[in-house]
Amino acid sequence: MIKFKKFFAGNKEYGPLALRLVAAWRLIAGVWAYAFFAKPITEVKGFFQHLGIPFPFASAYISVYAQLVCGVLFAIGLWIRPAALLMIINFIVAILAAHLNDAVTTSFAAWALLAISISLLFFGAGKISIDNFRRKSLRS
């Protein structure tokens, strides 16, 4: 039991990495087609318009590209806390506007991404990240 506990205590850096990579995968996969014009962004605009989100066209672009950029930042572990804060705002709006009354199976991704973003805001990117590398470089 002690070896088991010691192993995980000594390898804590893989926890934030796993969260970052799963969140990055979902964020990028969710907006890829809109960001690179395989699907028209007017679909997102129409959805936002239906939800009553102000400035639906601008909001669609902001949301799509924020998720894409933050997904990349999560993947590489750069500027994690600012990226996490943006995703917290994004997914609070998403939950309040679109998922508040949805079933768990429909809204789970938004809630999970919100929870991961909150965790990353508090705990940072972890040891396996560009943020950590930059922090070490600045110290030396």
Residue 54, both tokens:
């102000």
pLDDT value, residue 109? 96
* Lowest mean pLDDT segment, chosen from 12-16, 60-64, 91-95: 12-16
pLDDT value, residue 16? 95
* Residue 1 pLDDT level (bands cut at 50, 70, 90): low
Mean pLDDT of the chain: 95
Residue 24, both tokens:
């990055």
Q: Amino acid letter at 61?
A: Y
Domain boundaries of the chain, sorted by first residue? 23-139
Percent of the chain residues topping a pLDDT of 70: 99
**pLDDT 10s digits, 79-111:** 999 999 999 999 999 999 999 999 999 999 999
Q: How far apart are CA 50 and CA 71, in angstroms?
A: 26
Contact call for residues 44 and 63 (beta carbons, < 8 A): yes
Q: Amino acid letter at 7?
A: F
